[in-house]
Structure 1
Amino acid sequence: MLRPLLRKLPFGQSRLGRLIFGLNLLGLVILVIGALVLSDLRRGLIKTQMDSLTSQAQLMGEVIAEVATSEGDAEPHLEADNAAFVLGRFIPAGQRARLFDAQGRLISDSYKVSDTIDVYKLPDARKPDEAQPKDKTAKREARRLAADNQLHTEVMMALSGSPPVASVRTNERGIKVVSVSIPLRRVKEVLGVLTIERGDVDKIVADQRWAMLPFILIAFGVNMLSSLLLAWLVSRPIHRLSAAADNVRMARTRAISLPDLESRNDEIGVLARSLESMTDTLWRRMEEIDRFAADVSHEIKNPLTSIRSALETLPLVKTDEARERLMAVINQDVRRADRLITDISNASRLDAELSRDTPKKVEIGTLLEDIISLYQQSHVMGETAVILTRTLPPAASTVNGREGPLGQVFRNLIDNARSFSPESGQVRVTIAPGVDPALPISIVFEDDGPGIPEDNLETVFQRFYTSRPKGTSFGKNSGLGLSISRQIIEAHHGRIWAENRKDDNGQIVGARFTILLPNLH
């Protein structure tokens, strides 16, 4: 029952948070337990002192009531001499007993009638001609008056006939004492009050403070241990991760690799694994960018080299027919370079667009219908027709994705299929349930072209792959369309692959591109 409650707290889901909270709380719990235990101990000691003094005062009060009272013809009264004798003989050392008459006047004090000497520290000595400071004298007088008032209040309460009055008060020297006052009775008459006090309360408090020392030392040790554990378990690993990240930043190492941290099951382990995965992804991305730059440089050089050769040959051409052929080559290479630059620009912006564009609900069937309707509206006699077939309802063909990039994939595949299809051929697009439960949306693009060589079914998704069979148009494709399409589909957690369509005799009758996507959960 406590664990679910803790998990709702800010640190409840954090293993390190629970560790830090628990270690810091442990020292506080030890101090609280120590304070409670010693507070109970102090109250128990004082209560024991009060009970002991109460029993002693009651016993002594009975003795005084018997031997130190006289009735005679008058009312009963206390005999001071007999009472003083009892006080001087039966009060133990360390205690003080005083006897008051029925009017609250002091008639006997054990300090004056006992052989016991009260020892206490005298004030600092002063020179004979040095006067006592007025402020000290005033403080001493105020303290004496306060002590007399407290004692008088206690005596008056006892004279009222109440049960024994027990309290902790301050005497005239500023020392805390445990005091008990009981009324002295003769029959039902209250003859006076016996007060017994014991002045070792300060010693009890001092003993209590010393008893707190072990708890303080334990709490201090626990806090020191928790600090060391936190430094070892949190601060040191984070420092190591920081140093490893600096090494990666300064290109000293390829990636962060700290196996002893990655094996941990807390947030430090998660952080180490995340940093290693991040740096590895960054390095692979950098290598991919380097390869992409090299491929771009190579592909752009081809049309530029062809244009330069044609321009160098152009002054040497003598006939108009040859000059027109060279100009046609130049125009074709310019269009090819323009297509390359456009596709390269799109490919370089793709990662940024995918990370910036927020995914939302996209109904694949509606998106394909809008795209294909544009091809159908611009279709003329003799061109390849695009036909859409859907067997999946809209609710089952909705994905959480980015409409722009997905539309780019569909246009790339349709344009690629049309470029390979013969005149008056067809490009068939089908939306149907997928065979993979995790990827239930299947989108198939089929054409009537020459197909794809079996060895190149995977190669066609590589950048700048433009191997085309004889009879197909050249220079209209940059070789980036299928590569971009795979990148977008994988960013949507889907799959895309190519295969050949075959007839009953096993002859290739066209190509087929299949896309599988997860639906919206």
Structure 2
Amino acid sequence: MSLRQKLLLVALCTLALPVAGWLYVRQMETLLRQGQEQALTATATAVARSLAVTDVPLPQSGTGWYVQQALNPITVDGYGDDWAPMTPWSQPLGKQGKLLLAEDDSGFYMYIDVRTARRTRADAGDANALSSDHVVLDLIQGAQHRRYLLASAAPGAFTAQLLDPPAGDLPDRITGQWQEDGSGYHAELRLPSGLGLNALGVGVYTAANGGDPVAAEVRPLWRYSTNVSQELSRLAPEDTRARLLTPSGWLLAQSGKLTTSGSQPGWLSSVVYRSLLANPLEEAEPWTTDVPRLDLPEVQSARDGTSATVWRQGEQRDSVVLATAVPVERDQTVVGVLLLEQASRAVPLLANRAFLSLLLTSFGVMLVAGAILLWFATRLSLRLGRLRDAVERAQLNDGRLDGQWIQGHFPMAHAEDEIGDLARSFQSLFEAVGGYTDYLRTLASKLSHELNTPLAIVKSSLDNLEHAELSDEAQPYLARARDGVARLGTLVRAMSEASRMERAIAAAEPEDVDLADVVRGCAEAYRPLAGTRSLECALPHQPLHMHGAPELIAQALDKLFDNALSFTPSDGWLRLSLRAIDGGAEIELANQGPPLPAAMQGRLFDSLVSLRDKATPGDAPHLGLGLYVVRLVAERHGGVASARNLEDGSGVAFSLRLHGMPRQRLAG
């Protein structure tokens, strides 16, 4: 990863700022919600207490029968088609029946649905009517009540049988319609309006199950009250919707409507708020549907005496609604539940404004920080690039360091920061290494020059001793001294030759050559020298071009062939091959002979290292410069020289991996 990429990664860490701000805005939105929850709950509690202490008629604790408002005219025919909109809120009647109650200006309606598989039929006026399947109806008007028997032996109209004497204004005659199907029967009837019923008793008797034939479950009647709604509108705050429910959730009164002030924001602000800023919101449908009963978790919680709040989606875009449910208590008994709802755009508006301000600030900070870091990274990269170029220019083509350029032109050596310290360290290092390298490069020539004079003195002294009379015991020592002087002279000349070879290899000029032609020409020249030994040459069929010095490559092959020839027996074999590799070429010369010692494989290509037998007195010594030259040629071509034993143990192989010499750039 480059320095710019690393600093870009550091710049991306500034993204933590908008993330932290986003979390802060969400926390702020939560705190705003909590403040509104506490305020609305306190308001709802005050309204509930006011309802409890006034003369508002509230339901008593327990269960009751709820009378719905008939929105459409009801025809008494014994069928439930007219009751379809109210059917979802039917009330259970015993174990097998359901009851629906409704009223309008025309009267009070009742629909009874009983499910039973076995039927015992009789008309209400028959003597066995109480022992057949029937319904007992108990009408209660204040302290007065009167019971009626509803039964029919066949579908059609029926007339209720009176079970009690006349009482108050309760009717003496009740008629209705009776219908049956395969699973039970239905009874539908209408009572005149204005009876003032405050309670109702209904009992279903099934002959197959037995029981009390005149028993009826008496419950108070609950209905929507316009008077209570007016009182509720007087107590409830403006811009809120209030609903008074029975503990079981039946609607008794409601007032107000949800309104939001201010201009309506755009759809983008709404999406941002709901997807990024708003805490979870409940669905609005259970609250907005116009139904006679609300069976919500908040109502159940208030019925148990605990206030509950919920945030839901508003009917208008980008609005939220806070709803709270509080119990209405009389004599420490929950007699109702008050729902208070308030719509607001303040919370989304403040959250959106804070988030927008945060985005703008964060974007500005990130932009400035990114620009500063990019400028810093660019400047740092340029300075490091200058330092790198200076390091590369400090080395000449022959491998030496340009001490004069280092002392006078090394960049940023006067800077006061850490890069200046690094530049000064490089400058001091190059000066020391350059001086030491120059010393090592001239050491061989200096030694050869300095040793020539002492060797000449020793040689002349030995020549004079030959003319002196020496004993027979001294003659061998004189011969050994002459041989040693000859070897020292050869060594001094080799040291001087090695220094010249290094300079010659470093100064060689490259050109584009075909390695196949170079290797082929060398192989043809080696065949007469191989004598009785066999020489194989494996070359590619296509030309293998490379930018290099062909004379250096041929010189390296000469050294390898001379080395291989000295170890190959007279009837042995040699194999020269050339093949292309990734990014270059490999020349390998294998020969039959003894394997390489394991201890010497890492030192074969060093200077003055040889594996040949020590020469006998009088023979020319072998100084081990051939493989050293091979290594220099390989390194000059960006490659490496190596040696290995063949897998079958028949000999060794020396390889020369070449990648080509760099092309010189034209000065512009």
The answer to whether the superposition gives a TM-score over 0.5 is no
Rg comparison, structure with higher value: 2
Q: Which has the higher helix share?
A: 1
TM-score (norm. length: structure 2): 0.31
Normalized per residue, which structure has more strand? Answer: 2
Structure-1-length-normalised TM-score: 0.39
